[in-house]
Structure 1
C-alpha cells in the first residue's frame, strides 16, 4: 500500500515493561529463522494461517499459541479494531540489519505494516526513502513499505518489534493521518484485565483464477507508476508499447474469464496467456522502472501480478507461474 509520506507515528504509547516481560517469557523454540534466511533476523509467529508455524499469507488467520500466552500483546492488537493478517515479533541481532528493499509482492498491494518496538536502542535506525527515524520502545508507527527501506541495528543488544499486517479500517486511517497532539497528550494504553476487545483476523482464500477486474486494477496501478530509468526517444517508445501490452493482456484475460469462469477448470489456458505476456514483456521492459522505488517493471509484473494469477487447482497444478 502506497502512503503519502514515508513514516506516520501514531499518538499512542504502550506499557513497555509489560510488553518486554511477555516477550521475555517466550521459550527459545518460539523463535524461527527469517523466511529468506537473512542473517541475524528471526521471528516469533503471533498470527498465522491456522495459527500454525507457517509464513503463508493465504488461509484463515488465527492466533498462535505464543500469542495466546501474551495477554497484553493480544489486547494491544485487538484494541486497534482492525482485521489483522500475518503478524510476528521480529528480532534483529546486535550488528544485524534488514537489507534495502521494497515490498512489491501481491500481499502488500492493499496492506500496511504496523510496528510497535518492544526492545530497542537509540542506535537502531529505520530508513525509508531517504528519511531515517528511531522508533522508540512502546511507540506505534506505520511506514510506506512500497518505497525502498532498510533497518540498521548498530547497538550491542538485540532489537525486537511487534510487526503486524493490516488493510486498516476507515477509522484507523483517519487516526493515522490526523494531526498529532503534543506527546504529553498521547493516549497511554495500559493493561486492562477486564477489556473485551475481540481479536479480528483475516480470512484470505485463494481464488483458482484471479478475476478480470482485479487483474485490471493491478495492471492499471503498475502503469501509473511506470517511468524510464534513462530518458530518450527509444525508451519513451518502449514504455508506450509496454503499456499497450499490459492493456492487451487485461482484455484477453477478461475474455478467458468470460469464456471459462474463474473456478480453475481451464487453468492451462490462463497459464499459457500469463507465460506469453511474461516472454513478450522481457525485451520491452528493459530500462523501465517504478517511479517511487526504482524497482524493475518486469520484476513488479512478475511478483505482484503473474505469480498470483493462477492458484493450485484440483488437479494439483503448481501454484504460481515461476
Structure 2
C-alpha cells in the first residue's frame, strides 16, 4: 500500500519477553522455507487460508495451530482492532537478507503490513526508498511496500518479526499515521493470562468476475504512476497508446459487467477481453515502468489486474 512516507512507527509497545518465550517454544516443524526459495528466509504461518500450511492470499483466513500456541501473540494481533489477512513470523538468518523489491501484487493494493519485531539486533537494517530504520523489539511499524525496499541482517543471531497484513480501520490509520504522542503516552499491551480476545480475520472476498469499480480503481492507479525509462519520441508514443488501451479496457469491462453481472455468467466473454488487453499491451510496454519503483508496467498490469479479473471456475461436486 502507498503511504505518504516510507516508514511510520506506531505509538504502541509490547511485552518482548513474553513474545520471545512464545516464539522460542515453537517446534522446528512450525518453520517453513520462503515460498520463493530466498536463502536464509523462513516463516511460521500464523493466519492462513483455512488455517492450513499454505501461503495463499485468497480465501477464508483463519488462525493456524501455531498461533493457537501463542496466546500473547493472539492478544497482540487482536489489540490492533483490525481485520487480518495473512500473518506470519518471518525469520531472517544471521548474515541473510531480503533482496530489494517492490510489492506489486493485487493483494498489496489496499493492504499494509504491520511489523512487530520479536528477536532483533541493532545490526538489522530495514531500507525503504533511501531511508533506513532499525525496528527494535516490542515496537510496531508499517512501511510503504510499493516503494523499493530490502532488509539486511548483519548480526550473528536470527531476526524474527511478527508480520500481519490488514486494510485497517479508520481508527487504525489515525493511530498509525496521525500525530505521534510523546513516548511516555504510548499504549503498552501487557500480557493478560485471563484474556481470550476475538481475532478478526478476512473472509473469502473473491468474485467470479472482478467488479468494474475495482478494475477502474486498479487501472487508474497504474495509469497515474506510468512513466518511460527513456523519453524518446517512440517511447512517449507507446506510453500514450498503452494509456489509451487501459482507458478503453475499463470502459469495455464496465459494459460486460453491465450485461452479465459479476457472478460468472458468460465467463468466456470476460476472458476474451482480458486476453485482448494482454495481447495489445505486450508490444507497447517495452521501457514503460512505474515512476515510484521502476517496476515493469506490463508486469504490474499482469500481477495486479489481469491475473485476478476472472476466478477459476469451481470444481464439480463428486
Please name the residue that 1:199 is paired with.
199
Please name the residue that 1:260 is paired with.
260
SS in 2 for 1:312: coil
Q: Please list, as runs of the form range in 1=range in 2, the aligned pairs for 1:302-321 lying within 5 A after superposition.
A: 302-314=302-314
Asked if 1:225 corresponds to 2:232, the answer is: no
Cα displacement (A) at 1:305: 0.2
Following the alignment from structure 1 to structure 2, what is the Cα–Cα distance between the partners of residues 162 and 182?
Answer: 25
Following the alignment from structure 1 to structure 2, what is the Cα–Cα distance between the partners of residues 197 and 68?
Answer: 12
Aligned-residue CA RMSD (Å): 1.3
Please name the residue that 2:15 is paired with.
15
- 8 A contact 1:57–1:204 mirrored in 2: no
- 8 A contact 2:16–2:137 mirrored in 1: yes
Cα displacement (A) at 1:168: 0.4
SS in 1 for 2:108: helix
Please name the residue that 2:74 is paired with.
74
- 8 A contact 1:45–1:64 mirrored in 2: yes
- 8 A contact 1:126–1:132 mirrored in 2: yes
Cα displacement (A) at 1:270: 1.4
Q: Please list, as runs of the form range in 1=range in 2, the aligned pairs for 1:121-160 lying within 5 A after superposition.
A: 121-160=121-160
Cα displacement (A) at 1:196: 4.8
Following the alignment from structure 1 to structure 2, what is the Cα–Cα distance between the partners of residues 69 and 22?
Answer: 8
Asked if 1:34 corresponds to 2:34, the answer is: yes
Q: Deviations over 1:3-58 (max 9, x none)?
A: 00000001111111100000000011010111111111110010111111111111
SS in 2 for 1:279: helix
Following the alignment from structure 2 to structure 1, what is the Cα–Cα distance between the partners of residues 176 and 257?
Answer: 38
Asked if 1:275 corresponds to 2:248, the answer is: no
Cα displacement (A) at 1:108: 0.4
- 8 A contact 2:79–2:189 mirrored in 1: no
Asked if 1:236 corresponds to 2:223, the answer is: no
TM value normalised by structure 2: 0.96
Following the alignment from structure 2 to structure 1, what is the Cα–Cα distance between the partners of residues 157 and 18?
Answer: 19
Please name the residue that 2:189 is paired with.
189
Which moves more between the two structures, 158-167 or 305-314? 305-314
- 8 A contact 1:44–1:89 mirrored in 2: yes
SS in 1 for 2:60: strand
Cα displacement (A) at 1:179: 2.0
Following the alignment from structure 1 to structure 2, what is the Cα–Cα distance between the partners of residues 176 and 273?
Answer: 40
SS in 2 for 1:90: strand
Following the alignment from structure 1 to structure 2, what is the Cα–Cα distance between the partners of residues 200 and 263?
Answer: 27
Following the alignment from structure 2 to structure 1, what is the Cα–Cα distance between the partners of residues 45 and 283?
Answer: 41
Please name the residue that 1:46 is paired with.
46
SS in 2 for 1:293: coil
Q: Deviations over 1:179-217 (max 9, x none)?
A: 223333322221122335321111133211111121111
Following the alignment from structure 1 to structure 2, what is the Cα–Cα distance between the partners of residues 197 and 232?
Answer: 58
Please name the residue that 1:289 is paired with.
289
Following the alignment from structure 1 to structure 2, what is the Cα–Cα distance between the partners of residues 95 and 266?
Answer: 52
- 5+ long unaligned stretches in structure 2: none
Please name the residue that 2:171 is paired with.
171
- 8 A contact 1:30–1:66 mirrored in 2: yes
Following the alignment from structure 1 to structure 2, what is the Cα–Cα distance between the partners of residues 3 and 54?
Answer: 28
Following the alignment from structure 1 to structure 2, what is the Cα–Cα distance between the partners of residues 281 and 172?
Answer: 38
- 8 A contact 2:114–2:165 mirrored in 1: yes
Aligned length: 316
Q: Deviations over 1:133-171 (max 9, x none)?
A: 100001100000010001011111100000000000000
- 8 A contact 1:83–1:200 mirrored in 2: yes
Please name the residue that 1:91 is paired with.
91
Following the alignment from structure 2 to structure 1, what is the Cα–Cα distance between the partners of residues 305 and 41?
Answer: 28
